[in-house]
Amino acid sequence: VTTLSGEGAVAQVDASPDMTVSELLAVCRAELRMPAGNNIVLLHNGQPLNSPQAKLSQAGVTDGDMIIAQPMPNQQQMQQQQQRQRQQPARGGGGGGAAGGMPLIDFSGVRLGSGGSGGRQAQPQRRFETDEEASAAVASNPEILRQALLSMPEQLAALRQQNPQLADAVSDPDRFAQLVRTAQSERSRAAQERARLMAANPYDPRVQQEIQSLIQQQNIDSSMETALEHMPEAFAPVNMLYIDVKVNGHPVKAFVDSGAQMTIMSLPCAQRCNVERLIDKRWAGIARGVGTQTIVGRIHLGQLQIGGDYLACNFSVLRDQSMDLLLGLDMLKRHQCLLDLKSNKLVIGTTGTVAPFLSEADLPEDARASGGGSGGEGGKPITQESIDAVVAGGPDGTTADDAREALMHALGEVDAAIAFLVAKQSERSGQ
């Protein structure tokens, strides 16, 4: 069974059906390092195991179950808990955790200004030593949090993943303050509801489920704080892989995508490169939905120039496609290409030609704006709206799971996700 303490410690315990509740309690004390003097209660499915001599099989404990070990609250502790819960709304909902849509910000030791405007900005900065002190200050003046986010890009990047709406409002003080106060109000109501349930029955399954959820969220928050401290690069934007190529002598910035089955070209790009006349419209099709993606046809043999090499390549042409050219797996495998990320270059295996991946400044404008380059923070967040848009605009039979997978592949970009699905459908149609 899995045992979990109220402080978030976790331990796997080998327990037999004949083990008694008291024996399991002794093992939990040792494995979870709980003080021997405390009165501990074991909770299974939200219900206390009150019979010390009962066997685990009699108590309904089976293989893989979770047992929560926590101090048994006395009347004084319950009263103190209720008092803290009542005081929490007055402080704006407590710490700066992720609950209620608020960002997870570690204010400890961070020097922040007073958050005011005008002459108050000239006051000396102060240092918040604890999250509680900083959270109380943010509750009274959200401008402090806004200024902190503006001065900490890595925290702003994390917030953009958690709460894009709040991150976008950082540049608007009034809108930002409104969102913060709304989140604080929601968190206060949740705290009041928890206090009411705890006062009514601390062993109620709903209360125990809420406690377990809070413990899990604390562990997640702790993991995120550790990641922000020790590997902040994980929250930094990652540039998509583009190279400079020429199609029929016309320069094009091509997106290298080893996850796409087929090479795709947009119809406007085909027109600019004077290869529209080569489109075989017998390969045309329509991906129906609320929106549509029209497959114009296929160019069976086109001239693709990379560096000094001229490579034969076929293209599936889409009418409504934001990317000019996407080099898929068919082309990459045919020419034995190597994506050398250490040297930041694409190596054409059949010829030995090297094509450097474009830097951030050289990316197409739509790639920078969509999050494929520096314009986003690691890509757009995948929301239910974006999933619905891909399901609607993708090929017939596209499921929510298909849409989610395509969005993850395309870093949240709806058009690129639809193009990815259309390419897969076109590949299946050609087989």
Tens digits of per-residue pLDDT, 19-75?
Answer: 998 888 888 888 887 776 667 888 887 788 888 889 988 888 888 787 888 776 554
- The pLDDT averaged over each successive group of 10 residues in the chain (431 residues) is 73 86 87 75 82 88 82 54 47 40 43 40 44 60 78 71 80 86 80 73 78 81 81 79 94 91 90 92 65 78 91 88 88 94 94 92 70 44 82 83 80 77 67 51
Rounded to whole angstroms, the Cα distance separating 195 from 94 reads 14
Q: Class of the 2-72 domain?
A: alpha beta
Domain with CATH 2.40.70.10 in the chain: 242-430
CA atoms within 13 A on the CB side of 294: 7
Backbone angles phi, psi at 3, to 5 degrees: -110, 145
Token pair in block for residue 111? 């020097």
Query: Per the residue annotation, which of 257, 320, 324, 402 is the catalytic one?
Result: 257
Let me know if 362 is a catalytic residue: no
Rounded to whole angstroms, the Cα distance separating 94 from 98 reads 11
Q: Quick one: pLDDT at residue 380?
A: 65
Q: Look at strands 309-318 and 264-266 and give their pairing.
A: parallel
**CA dist 413 → 121, 321, 367 (Å):** 40, 12, 9
Do 191 and 94 contact (CB within 8 A), yes or no? yes
* Cβ-based neighbours of 426, under 8 Å, separated by 6 or more: 262, 283, 285, 295, 298, 316
What's CA 158's distance to the chain center, in Å? 9
Q: Quick one: pLDDT at residue 397?
A: 81
**CA dist 59 → 18, 54, 65, 72 (Å):** 11, 7, 12, 19
* Cβ-based neighbours of 395, under 8 Å, separated by 6 or more: 287, 288, 293, 421, 422, 425
* Cβ-based neighbours of 333, under 8 Å, separated by 6 or more: none
Residue 116 CB-density burial (10 A; 0-12 exposed, 13-18 middle, 19+ buried):
middle
Q: Class of the 242-430 domain?
A: mainly beta
Rounded to whole angstroms, the Cα distance separating 323 from 423 reads 13
Q: Quick one: pLDDT at residue 136?
A: 62
Q: Quick one: pLDDT at residue 267?
A: 92
Do 12 and 65 contact (CB within 8 A), yes or no? no
Q: Quick one: pLDDT at residue 209?
A: 82
Q: Quick one: pLDDT at residue 101?
A: 43
Q: Quick one: pLDDT at residue 348?
A: 94
Domain with CATH 3.10.20.90 in the chain: 2-72
Interval 150-167: pLDDT, tens: 777 767 776 776 778 888
Other C-beta atoms closer than 10 Å to the C-beta of 235 total 20
Quote the radius of gyration of the chain (alpha carbons, Å): 29
